[in-house]
Structure 1
Amino acid sequence: MTNDHKGKRGCVSVNKSASRNECVNVPTPGLLPSANLPVTLADITITDHLVADIHFPDPVLEIKDIKKRVKIVQCRLLLGPTSDPDTGIPLFIKGFIRKNIQYATPCPHAKSDCVSSEMRSLTVDVPFECVTVVTDFLTDPILPTSNTREEFDFFRAQSLGHGYPEKDQMLSSDLSQFHQVSTQFYNQIPFCELVSSSIVQWDEAVDRYPLPNNGPFEEGTFHNIVEKTFLQFRVRVYQNQQIALNGNG
């Protein structure tokens, strides 16, 4: 079968594949009854500190409530063939704190005795990113096995052509041929689970001004706040591993 299309030859031309009854299988030696299960590598609590400048599209009289949710978009144990769990393995964390800020914005024409306001909300994502080194493993991770690739050549004697004695030859390998043995291993990559999170935050207005039009003297509005956040969250790191089953299953 070829990849010819409308008379044009494709990039690759292949023969018809072997039928299924020509495939041969042999069992992998030395294996015991087992199950491929997620094993807990580590259960850790991570701490980070954030400072964010948040701008409101409307003048803010006061903040009524802030609903928060931690979102982890990447949690990757940087495991390599030479990693050593005893000396620690880096864990890369990247995510956001989703904040829905409910606030009151004053209506126009505030008077001296009262202030009418409307309720609005602003949703923002405050990003964070950090690397922590995991040293306390409940179960050691299975390190990835490296792929291998080896090339080899065959000797070939070729005529030197016009201008050289007929008995002389060029002794080398054949540049028109390429030979290689390669092996690929499809290792199990560790993955994470977010268990819980805790957030302590301070929000401070940095541009608060009194209300215009003779509003109450203690009232004012602002557009910008600086938010300082102390973030803690707990994650579990897993890896699928082959677990041997005993005689009782």
Structure 2
Amino acid sequence: MKKNYGCGCGKGHSAGKCPAMPACDTAKSHDHFCEVVPPVVRGTEVEAVIAQAAIQTLTESDIHLPDYATDIKVIRKNIFLTQCEAIPFRAEPGSTSTNIVKVFIEGYIHKNIQYVEDCNGYVKDYMVNVPFKCYTRVTLPAAIPVPALSSKNSDAREIRELAKDGMGADRCTFGSNTFENLNEPIRCKLVRWNLSEANFLANFDKWGRFNRFTEKDDINLVIRLTQTQFSQVATLLPEEE
């Protein structure tokens, strides 16, 4: 059997960008002037830290070495997140603010394992990724606005006109009202991490060497959630003479 000396990195660790919609065709349109609809407001836009939370999760993995080993010398570890999404929780229908977000986290522990096969000889190196996934809820210190909803289907807010005979709707004339609110996303950043592990050796040969062990990892992450927020500044009207 061919031995696996690869890194065991796997696929899908680099988050891809959302592609644009395909352009099937382009309709002919007519240009018109733009018009400003009052009032025009001013304000400030800041990157606000809405929460910094400690999140704990567990994972267990079975690691197979490419060769039998007598001893593991050292295991170097790094944690990388492949997903960290925060979704505001709408507690009640019609509510405009919330202090709870649901957080979905995915990532992997990159482990660089150095081991020896016999009492003397070279130190071998094996790298493997251990994926983990968890989700939880975070209570924010202060409430944030819940995402504003959109209506993009023309049949949801349809406009119909009466037919000329007054007996129903005119099938050749119709319209609709659709709208889209673009909400500021909640961004997630890994600030620091702490990892405690326990290793359990298994699958020994007749010389007392092993090629498999189980790792139980206690993962502790500190996550910072930020959001761009707009604060409107009150405009003072000029004093009347």
The Cα of 1:226 is off from its aligned counterpart by 0.5
Structure 2 length-normalised TM: 0.75
Alignment deviations for residues 216-246 of structure 1 (CA, whole Å, 9 cap, x no partner)? xxxx321110001111110111111014579
Runs of 5+ unmatched residues, structure 1: 1-9, 107-114, 159-169, 212-219
Q: How many residues are paired up?
A: 204
The reply on whether 1:147 has 2:150 as its aligned counterpart is yes
State the alpha-carbon separation in 1 of the partners of residues 145 and 58 from structure 2: 32
The reply on whether 1:23 has 2:34 as its aligned counterpart is yes
AA partner of residue 141 (structure 1): I
Alignment of 1:209-228 (within 5 A): 209-211=205-207, 220-228=208-216
Q: Percent identity?
A: 24
Alignment of 1:91-240 (within 5 A): 91-106=103-118, 115-135=119-139, 137-148=140-151, 150-157=157-164, 171-211=167-207, 220-240=208-228
AA partner of residue 135 (structure 2): V
Structure 1 length-normalised TM: 0.73
Which consecutive segments of 4 or more residues in structure 1 shift more than 4 A? 80-84, 244-247
Alignment of 1:63-82 (within 5 A): 63-79=72-88
Question: CA separation of 1:245/1:61 partners in 2, compared to 1, >3 Å: closer, same or farther?
Answer: farther
Question: CA separation of 1:202/1:25 partners in 2, compared to 1, >3 Å: closer, same or farther?
Answer: same
The Cα of 1:208 is off from its aligned counterpart by 2.0
AA partner of residue 185 (structure 2): I
State the alpha-carbon separation in 2 of the partners of residues 121 and 243 from structure 1: 54
Q: Aligned-residue CA RMSD in angstroms?
A: 2.5
Conserved in 1, the CA contact under 8 Å of 2:91 and 2:98? no
Runs of 5+ unmatched residues, structure 2: 1-23, 236-241
State the alpha-carbon separation in 2 of the partners of residues 245 and 104 from structure 1: 67
Rg larger for? 1
Conserved in 1, the CA contact under 8 Å of 2:74 and 2:113? yes
State the alpha-carbon separation in 2 of the partners of residues 60 and 177 from structure 1: 79
State the alpha-carbon separation in 2 of the partners of residues 25 and 235 from structure 1: 41
AA partner of residue 159 (structure 2): F
Question: CA separation of 1:222/1:179 partners in 2, compared to 1, >3 Å: closer, same or farther?
Answer: same
